Amino acid sequence: MNYSISYIVATRNRLTFLTIALETLIKEIRADEEIVVVDGDSSDGSKEYLQRLFEQRKIHQFVSAPDRNQAHAWNKAMLMAKGIFIKKIIDDDVFCYDAIRKCKQFMLQNPTIDLIISNDLSSTLNNYKEIQKHSRLPQFQNWVDGKTPSFTFGDVHMLIRKSSLPFIGLYNTNFVMMDWEYSLRISYLKANIAYYTGYNALSVAHPGTTTSKKNERLIKSQGQRAGMLYEYKGDDAAISLWSKIKINGGRLLHRAKKASHFQTDLPAIGEVYQFYYDYLSEINGDNEFQFIQRP
């Protein structure tokens, strides 16, 4: 079977978020698309849940085994993907599949494009109705104009052409902030990147966010190393936008919990995520967006 898109998921012990993400994706999936899941030998029931979905043929590929780190897991998923395009689905974030397919169609019409990135939205579970808009368009434009040799962007809204992997490579397993290094590398290599001014994704921060637990000293040292490798002089983001959102959001929520001010009257998590999906669909449906290419 030739698939147009491979939706790849790497997960470990995040069953609550995983079930929401996969149930939504399974409802959205089309005949020419596949779901690939890499589980890091979960012990919270995720592995058994995924095995059932695989046996029911609701997901197309599934493996469960220990991973050395996050980059290792995502690399396995990318190599397993059979689609023309690869879309990373992070289990605690929210995605607009109509917007993703618009990006896919644009890339089919423009076969030299290696990947598309888009604007991003962000929120925290504790204040889920407060949603922020983010854009890397000015940084993208500076890169297009040759003013900077590289720039950063979050991989949460990235759509990759699989045939471009031999050029742009996989995630560097030596970097904790893997999307930071990956975005700098891809842009420094002068890959053909296009920008979509719509919103492919909404990033969600919460106390269990993996990124929120990163060691600040390690982040800084790895950021400096990547900056030197790819001649990145920095902008308003010391690390990639998606990571910055999740680190700050996760830490704020941790502090709120310790101070006993953490909101306890939130609706069920499924209702919160339904709000997110509805918001993302509405903002993409009510606006006209454009694709911007390098000349």
**DSSP 8-state symbol, 125:** G
Residue with tokens 């050395």: 68
- Listed by start position, the domains of the chain span 3-292
How distant, in Å, are the alpha carbons of 124, 127, 177, 214, 242 from that of 256?
Answer: 12, 12, 25, 18, 21
Which three-class secondary structure string do you get for 175-188? CCCHHHHHHHHHHH
pLDDT in tens, 131-167: 999 999 999 999 999 999 999 999 999 999 999 999 9
Q: Are 43 and 76 in contact (CB under 8 A)?
A: no
Strand, coil or helix: 214: coil
Distances from the Cα of 287 to the Cα of 271, 275, 284, angstroms: 25, 19, 6
Query: What pLDDT score does 266 carry?
Result: 55
Tell me whether strands 115-124 and 61-64 are parallel, antiparallel or unpaired: unpaired
3-state DSSP helix/strand/coil percent for the chain, to nearest 5?
45, 20, 35
Three-class SS state of 1: coil
Give the up-direction half-sphere exposure of residue 99: CA atoms within 13 A in the CB hemisphere.
32
- C-alpha 134/C-alpha 131 separation (Å) is 10
Residues in the chain: 295
Query: What was the pLDDT predicted at 210?
Result: 55
E strands in the chain: 3-11, 33-39, 61-64, 83-88, 94-95, 115-124, 132-134, 159-161, 193-205, 291-292
- pLDDT for 131 equals 96
pLDDT at 234: 76
Ramachandran quadrant class, 41 (left: phi over 0; alpha: psi -120 to 50; beta: rest): left
Residue ranges in the chain whose pLDDT is less than 50: 212-213, 238-242, 244-245, 247-265
At residue 180, the pLDDT reads 87
List the one residue out of 31, 36, 50 whose CA is nearest residue 7: 36
What's the CATH architecture for 3-292?
Alpha-Beta Complex (3.90)
74-104: pLDDT as tens digits: 999 999 999 999 999 999 999 999 999 999 9
Whole-number Å distance between alpha carbons of 101 and 33:
11
Cβ contacts of 98 within 8 Å, gap of 6 or more: 281, 284, 285
Identify the pLDDT of residue 236: 53
Of 280, 221, 292, the residue nearest 98 (C-alpha): 280
Q: Following CA atoms 211, 215, 220, 222 in sequence, which dihedral angle do they give, to the nearest 10 degrees?
A: -80
